[in-house]
Amino acid sequence: MYQRRKQRDEDMTAPDLSGGMITALKGQVRDPERVSVFIDDHFAFGIAASTAVKEGLRIGDQVDAARVAELVTMDEVGRATSAALNLLARRPRSTREITDRLHRKGFAPPAIDAAVVRLEGWNYLDDADFARYWVENREANRPRGRRLLEQELHHKGVDRELARAAVEAAAPNEHDAALAMARSKVRSYSGLDPMVARRRLTGFLGRRGYGFDVIVPVIDRVFDEASDEDTDDDMRDE
């Protein structure tokens, strides 16, 4: 029990960047893929076991402060990259989303920048691809007007020109999407004064990014349809 508690304390200890002789390389209890590096019989830093092997670390090696700093930085970049890959496995993300999440996880800016460069080189991060994914996903599941789509992408850190290009390439049929929304929503306004219902439906479509050039004809059409349905119902009642 004492040994486990001691290992946990080592895992949370800030790295010692001073140099000396490596006196021990011990597997970590919480993560068997990492090792604790001891310099002059004191815990110095943790590092991925694969990195320790790749860098040829051995007990008895002399390492100066610069080499220790290099190894610690190398490890942080690796951990930042792994954390980013875990996020990307859930869904595509913009570069700024990844940067912000890594920052909140406590990674240093140089490690974040290096991880981003690495992911871009592997084609795991590409804001143009992300913008296309976002627009297609919205169109399939939660339609939005072009204006709101561009706002959402800009909020996620996508360049305005890239956002606009993705929206234009998808060429969403705003009229049909807004019409389908309006037809579904207008039923909840039955019984309201027509002017109140029109105002509420206008606000509803506006909040979803549609401009008045789309909203006005759509609202006219759904209320004309509703009026025709009421007329048909009256004729059937007679």
Are 143 and 108 part of one and the same domain? no
Distance CA 44, CA 21 (A): 11
CB 35 within 8 A of CB 52: yes
Least confidently predicted of 14-18, 41-45, 208-212, 230-234 = 230-234
Question: pLDDT tens digit string along 49-65?
Answer: 999 999 999 999 999 99
The domain in which residue 131 lies consists of 127-170
Are 115 and 132 part of one and the same domain? no
More confident residue, 230 or 30: 30
Phi and psi for 201 in degrees, rounded to 5? -70, -35
Are 2 and 58 part of one and the same domain? yes
Residue 121 lies in a domain: yes
The partner residues of 62 in beta bridges, in order of sequence, read 21
Are 207 and 179 part of one and the same domain? yes
CB 13 within 8 A of CB 21: no
Question: pLDDT tens digit string along 112-145?
Answer: 999 999 999 999 999 999 999 999 898 888 888 8
Are 46 and 78 part of one and the same domain? no
Q: Which two tokens stand for residue 209?
A: 């990014």
Residue 152 lies in a domain: yes
Residue 153 lies in a domain: yes
Please report which helix (H) or strand (E) contains residue 204, including its range. helix 194-207
Residue 68 lies in a domain: no
Give pTM, 2 decimals. Answer: 0.69
For the cut 90, the answer to whether the pLDDT of residue 99 exceeds it is yes
Are 39 and 53 part of one and the same domain? yes
Q: State the virtual CA torsion across 78, 79, 84, 90 in degrees, nearest 10.
A: 120
